[in-house]
Amino acid sequence: MSPEEMLKSFPKQLEWEKLDIDRSLYHTITFCGMGGSGIVGDIARSWLEHKGCKVITSSHRGYGLPNYISGEEHLVVCISYSGNTEETLSNFAEAQKRGASIISISSGGKLEELSEKSGVLHLKVPKGFAPRYALGYMLSKVLAVLGIEKEELEDARENIEKNYEEIKKKGEEIAEKLYGYIPIIYATPLTEVAAFRWKTQINENSKTQAYFATLPEMHHNEVVGLDNAEIRSKCAFVVMFDPKDHDRVRRRVDLTIRLLKDLGIVPIAIGGDGNSYLARLLHLIHVGDWASYYLAGKYGFEPLPVKVIDWIKSELSKG
């Protein structure tokens, strides 16, 4: 399947099923994953916080687990599309050692094997995708576990489907503006996960560097870097926002755009469209997916290969 075909399948990947758990049973929920699988936990965590979830949630990238996880009142959700990500497998083993509750998600691999042997609930997604192109499949499973209503997920899917040509066109237009520059993405707390997704998609698909910073923190450091005209001239700026952002954050968005314009920069200002936070977030993410795809084409790269990642994995497999 080509990258374009995988991208087009995204809305169809958003399939609802009833898998909800009683979140009140847990003191914490920790999402473990790396790369294209790790972003799933970021989106789920952001969605839970926006819904007013009282359970402490976090995304964990790396080996082991945070020290506070100990006992079945802590839920660890291990997400690895391949099922063979060594960091996530180490999370699984550590969660077992500490007696935590575990749910796993993969298309197979060692994670599925270990889950079946241990009696851990394993949710399987279809094979045949690069992990970053299987976002919808993995996210649907996680949100189903967390109790998303069918109507909310279907609305998010329909929002993308009905606006698909507009999303693709917007992505292509943004790729034109990013070409030849280092993309710098400024986000708000509600769009931070989308900014991170844009960064990583540009890294992997477009084979180029990209960076992001988040308001209001960036107003205490990042903005001073704009004084360097020689460096800022090499960058293209994106400013993301959501209509439900804190009033003072929205004020900071306006100030950031004004600051950039005063410096002679015309930033790409963008917010997601949709009835719900999830719908807007996924709309914004998918615009970035297409932008990274078109940007890859402009640079003459095939989006799928990630040779340097494969080399690192090969070297690590040697011990």
Q: Catalytic residue at 313?
A: yes
Which entry of 12, 162, 261, 313 is annotated as an active-site residue?
Answer: 313
Q: What are phi and psi of 60, to 5 degrees?
A: -120, 125
Which entry of 204, 207, 283, 286 is annotated as an active-site residue?
Answer: 204
Do the beta carbons of residue 190 and residue 50 sit within 8 Å? yes
**From edge to edge, which strands make up the β-sheet containing 56-60?**
56-60, 28-32, 74-79, 101-106, 121-124
Which entry of 18, 54, 220, 307 is annotated as an active-site residue?
Answer: 220
Q: Which two tokens stand for residue 110?
A: 């060692």
Q: Catalytic residue at 204?
A: yes
> Torsion-angle region of residue 265: left (phi > 0), alpha (psi -120 to 50) or beta?
beta
3-class secondary structure, 295: helix
Active-site positions read: 204, 220, 313
